[in-house]
Amino acid sequence: MSEPASQFETLMARLEKRDAVIGIVGLGYVGLPLALAGLDAGFHVLGFDVNARRVAAINAAEQVISYIGPDVMRGAIEGGRFDNTTDFTRLAEADAILICVPTPITRHRDPDLSFVSDTAETISKTLRPGQLVVLESTTWPGTTREIVQPLMEATGLVVGKDVFLAFSPEREDPGNPHFGTKTIPKVVGADDGQSRDLAVALYEKIVSEVVAVSSAAAAEATKLTENIFRSVNIALVNELKQVYSAMGVDVWEVIAAAATKPFGFMPFYPGPGLGGHCIPVDPFYLTWKAREYGMETRFIELAGQINTSMPRVVVDRLAETLNEATGKGLKSSRILLLGVAYKKNVDDTRESPSLVLIEQIEQRGAVCDFHDPHIAAIPSTREHPGLAGRTTVALTAETIASYDAVLVATDHDAVDYGLIAANAKLIVDTRNVFARLGLPADRVVKA
């Protein structure tokens, strides 16, 4: 008589046949695209979120992310393999549970892992033999082993034998038309071979390429390294912008020329500050953890200081330009800010420097309205509660002409920059969009 199949063998067989159920906790900018990719791969997907309205909207096939169209949502729901719920007891139905919850930082730049630990604790309440849990939320090296694994093993189940645990960092770039969930290589790490093999087997069905590393910590460090690389290089060009501007040199022209070198240079671009759920936040997860080992991360922290100072630099430039043009500076001026999303062509305001810009402009005595084709009203945020509910203004010739200056913070494609160029009294451009589009520059000042 043959031996019964192990938990590993049973789950591997279900993954290979694609009859496993994938549970995804967190249906935001990471979790929802991942769910759709899992559906495309032939799996049944069970989505979980604490936001009942969002769950209801997804189950009704409504568009909840600007770049995921209603046809896609309708096809996902009508396929009959996508069910979403706020009932976390149904986690027991999932064979693989992917955690896609936020990992913010506090005001003091310390990691806030409450969403991860709360989710892991919730999973542990229904954890059963044969389940695979994968953390995708960005965090410091060691989180999977030190926080998630103890909560799983507190049930009496053993990771690597009864249940399985891995880390695979999300690499979403919201609104990127060239790379999506299925085409971005997926890094996978685990602290035991069976967990890693199962995670690799799962993701190989969903994405085009899987890159396995030796441990969960190595995978966690990979994501931090990617975002620190961007943060440091953006800080460099933000600093160069200020230096070259003082010398009368256009940093945008310099970057374009340097980018013609076929080796040894990669272009990064300055802006009004960093936004989004990754680059302004993730580097500080490593600086926090490094202190546990008596290590300083001076390079990373300096980059953070430069990037977070950029809104002030932009507002100073705006005030200086207004003073030269009108003689009154910011006080009593009316400013129209273009774009409150943290990057172009998305409806996401997380960590957006535009929110800081509005507050700093108004602190200096000006009125600041905004136009954003993707955001009708500013949502409630922890850091900027006073801006919640403010609504976008219509972009007409009369509206534009009524402001003392237009400040470009986010260069959405769905904006008529020609209309702005023709009617604005003054334009302060932090994204080089007018030069890039070849529009008249007699009233455009780069910042």
Q: Which of 206, 278, 336, 346 is catalytic?
A: 278
Q: Among this protein's residues, is 100 annotated catalytic?
A: no
Residue 247 half-sphere exposure toward CB, CA atoms < 13 A: 10
Give residue 212's Cα distance to chain centre: 23
Give residue 320's Cα distance to chain centre: 33
Handedness of CA 198, 201, 204, 210 (dihedral sign): positive
> DSSP state, 92?
G
- Phi, psi angle pair for 129, to nearest 5°: -55, 140
For 273-305, give the DSSP string: ---SSSTTTTHHHHHHHHHHTT---HHHHHHHH
Nearest to 132 by CA among 208, 43, 39, 225: 43
User: Distance (Å, rounded) from C-alpha 298 to C-alpha 189?
Assistant: 28
Cβ distance 54 to 202 under 8 Å?
A: no
Nearest to 97 by CA among 74, 55, 75, 130: 130
User: Distance (Å, rounded) from C-alpha 321 to C-alpha 309?
Assistant: 19
Distances in Å between the alpha carbon of 422 and those of 53, 371, 400, 438? 42, 17, 9, 13
Cβ distance 395 to 413 under 8 Å?
A: no
The region, left, alpha or beta by phi > 0 then psi within -120 to 50, assigned to residue 439 is beta
User: Distance (Å, rounded) from C-alpha 191 to C-alpha 77?
Assistant: 36
Distances in Å between the alpha carbon of 347 and those of 288, 300, 403? 30, 28, 24
Active site residues: 278
